[in-house]
Amino acid sequence: MYSQKISTLIIFFAILSCVDVKQSEEKKPSKFQEKYRPQYHFTPPSGWMNDPNGMVYYEGEYHLFYQHNPDSTVWGPMHWGHAVSSDLVHWEHLPIALKPDSLGTIFSGSAVLDQKNTSGLGSEKNPPLVAIYTYHNAKMEKTGSNKFQTQGIAFSTDKGRNWQKYKGNPVLENPGIKDFRDPKVSWHEPSKKWIMALAVKDKISFYSSPNLLDWTFESDFGKNKGAHGGVWECPDLFPLKINGQEMWVLLVSINPGGPNGGSATQYFIGDFDGKTFTTQQEETLWLDYGTDNYAGVTWSNVEDNRVFMGWMSNWDYANIVPTENWRSAMTIARKLSLGEIDGKKRLISKPLQNYQNQLAAKTLNWEIEGQNAFLIRQVNEWTEIDFKKDIDENQSIEIELFNENEESLKLELDLAKEEIVLDRSLIENHSFSEKFKSVQSAPANFKKQNLKIVIYKDASSIEIFINDGEWVMTALYFTEKDLNKMKITSNKSFTAEIKNSNFKSIW
Ligand code: FRU
């Protein structure tokens, strides 16, 4: 433990020796050392990745499947890549689980444990894991038909190691609608049925089934609700309690039409009776205001712990970000809950506690006060900044992460404007896309007495959690050198306690 005080208006530079936190280089497989390769976020060994799929917990393992093109670093014929984890932090890569077949390539979907063997695809003694996914038939699409997306299932009776496609596929035919995909299935105990939330154009259709094989249309949701700037994709529907009351949350990804351009995930808080989702919500609400958290959903079969993971990219530039050998990472796993901000119900996202075990042994503690505080140090992958005294209602605070190349990422919290701004435009490496050079913002009416910022930074991403997950911003960035220095400035004086450490590599 180390403690340092920086007094008012004195600019204090402290250069700390690099804490020995990195895993010894030779132990890592070389492909996990590429430039920009995240060290504690999930990435595929090689090739292209987009949405997380089929997230299900079973017998001590969290399964993560993902949209995968193994033969290229750009989007193409979709497979389901596969990995498992016991803690959602460390991952073991497994062989590809689902490959394209004559019905099409394998788009996004979900997986469930069919505990009672309702499908008959396993036995009650050995219940099957069932994956429900979208077939995308590109050949049929070329013929001009609109029926090229259908829903299929596959099952495994050996802990997800081998998957067999169901002979009666597709289990849900297309009624003639171009965008008809991304089934998220869960068991609805009150009606004793499986419920499928399906993205259909810019709405969500709900279907029900007694056995995962036969599906009946129940209702549509979305007309005159939420954002409609693009197609709706990758829904998720689940209950969460607030003050003892059960409410239902519907996640809906949308592309384009996000609050800061391109892809983003909106959510609705309401009620679900087994047939229809209803909400009184007037505003459009976003799960994450950053540009790079898309298509995220939650794990099934862990209903008491709603854990979310998203794809850390944006369709505006996902195919052309400057990585080699592999493309895209997932966000860190986040625990979702319902809370109230200013008397209004909101979805709260907190980093999973398990990441704390992955921090390097040394955590540095600082207390700073003043208007300008420069902290120059080599350890900053995890930073918690707790503003100890009341923040003034006209205060603005700027946190800058920078390096000796003058590359910098700025986070500004403006209490008067009730706004958070994340500016990555000062990082030179955005030439691959005009859309990447963005200044992102989020409306935020902070609690003025209690401002806490937690930053998770990896080789090419930043995830910012404000006031224990009331506001979240996730963004990619590509710098020549690590942003290993931090500076905090404000128009008024402040006192803050800072905790700071690095992550050990998970690879
Ligand atoms: C979302 C998405 C899904 C689709 C998948 C295809 O990012 O467009 O709607 O199933 O990606 O890879």
Q: Which CATH number characterizes residue 8's domain?
A: 2.60.120.560
Write the residue with the smallest CA distance to atom 9 of ligand 1: 233
What confidence score (pLDDT) does residue 45 get? Answer: 97
Let me know if residue 237 belongs to a domain: yes
| Residue 73 forms part of a structural domain | yes
Same domain, 380 and 403: yes
Single out the residue in 302, 335, 353 at which a domain terminates.
Answer: 353
Name the nearest CA neighbour of 444 among 475, 476, 462, 422: 422
Could you read off the pLDDT of 169-194 as tens digits, one per residue? Answer: 999 999 999 999 999 999 999 999 99
Write out pLDDT tens, residues 131-170.
999 999 999 999 999 999 999 999 999 999 999 999 999 9
Q: Is the pLDDT at 99 greater than 80, yes or no? A: yes
**For the residues of 50-67, what is the DSSP string, one character each?**
EEEEEEEEETTEEEEEEE
Nearest-atom index, ligand 1, CA of 75: 12
- Calculate how far, in angstroms, residue 497's C-alpha sits from the geometric centre of ligand 1: 42
Q: What percent of the chain has pLDDT over 90?
A: 81
Q: Is the pLDDT of residue 4 over 70?
A: no
- 313 vs 378, higher pLDDT: 313
The boundaries of the domain holding residue 366 are 2-28+360-501
Same domain, 58 and 131: yes
Q: In this predicted structure, what is the pLDDT of residue 439?
A: 93
For residue 198, tell me if it sits in a domain: yes
Domain count, the chain: 2
Report yes or no on 278 lying in a domain: yes
Rounded to the nearest integer, the mean pLDDT of the chain is 92
The whole-model pTM stands at 0.94
* Domain stop point among 313, 328, 353: 353
| pLDDT on residue 187 | 98
| pLDDT tens, position by position, 287-340 | 999 999 999 999 999 978 999 999 999 999 999 999 999 999 999 999 999 999
| Residue reference for tokens 């299929």 | 152
Q: Where residue 246 falls among pLDDT bands split at 50, 70, 90?
A: very high
Catalytic residues: 51
Instruction: Enter the tokens of residue 112.
Output: 């469930």
How many Å separate Cα 435 from the centre of its chain? 20
Using the mean position of ligand 1's atoms as its centre, give its distance from the Cα of residue 107 in Å.
Answer: 6
Beta bridge mates, 393: none
pLDDT for 369 equals: 81
Pocket probe for ligand 1: among 151, 174, 234, the residue whose CB has the most ligand atoms within 8 Å is 234
pLDDT the model gives residue 13: 37
- Look at 16-30, 38-52, 189-203, 378-392 and tell me which has the smallest mean pLDDT: 16-30
The residues, ordered by sequence, that sit 6+ positions from 343 with a Cβ below 8 Å of its Cβ are none
Return the percentage of the chain with pLDDT > 70, whole number.
92
Residue 337 within a domain: yes
Asked if residue 375 and residue 302 are part of one domain, the reply reads no
Residue 3 reports pLDDT greater than 60 = no
Q: Which atom of ligand 1 is nearest to the CA of 134?
A: 10
| 115 and 261, same domain (yes or no) | yes
368 & 403 share domain: yes
Q: How confident is the model at residue 267 (pLDDT cuts 50, 70, 90)?
A: very high
Residue 62's CATH number: 2.115.10.20
Examine the domain organization and report whether 18 and 107 are in the same domain.
Answer: no
- Structural domain contains residue 36: no
Confidence of residue 450 (pLDDT cuts 50, 70, 90): confident
Residues 156 and 294 in one domain: yes
Indicate whether 402 and 460 sit together in one domain: yes
Which residues approach ligand 1 with their CB closer than 6 A? 50-51, 67, 78, 107-108, 134, 181-182, 233-234, 295
Tell whether 110 is covered by a domain: yes
> What is the mean predicted confidence (pLDDT) over 412-423?
95
Does the structure show a pLDDT above 80 at 498?
Answer: yes
**Confidence category of residue 379, pLDDT binned at 50, 70, 90:** low
Which of 313, 329, 353 is at the close of a domain? 353
Is there a domain that residue 333 lies in? Answer: yes
Query: Quick one: 455 and 338 in the same domain?
Result: no
Instruction: Judge if 424 and 347 occupy the same domain.
Output: no
Verify that 172 and 268 share a domain, yes or no. Answer: yes
> How far is Cα 136 from Cα 495, in angstroms, rounded to an integer?
55
Q: Which helix (H) or strand (E) holds 140?
A: helix 138-142
- Bond before 443 cis per omega within 30 degrees: no
Average confidence (pLDDT) over 242-265: 97
Q: Ligand 1 pocket test: which of 150, 233, 252, 315 has the largest number of ligand atoms within 8 Å of its C-beta?
A: 233
Distance CA(21)–CA(40), nearest Å, equals 13
Residues 289 and 239 both lie in one domain: yes
Rg of the chain over CA atoms, in angstroms? 23
Point out the ligand 1 atom lying closest to the alpha carbon of residue 231. Answer: 9
Q: Give the dihedral of Cα atoms 88, 89, 94, 97; nearest 10 deg.
A: 40
Residues forming a β-bridge with 366: 498
Task: For residue 252, give Cα distances in angstroms to 54, 56, 198, 286.
Answer: 16, 19, 10, 9
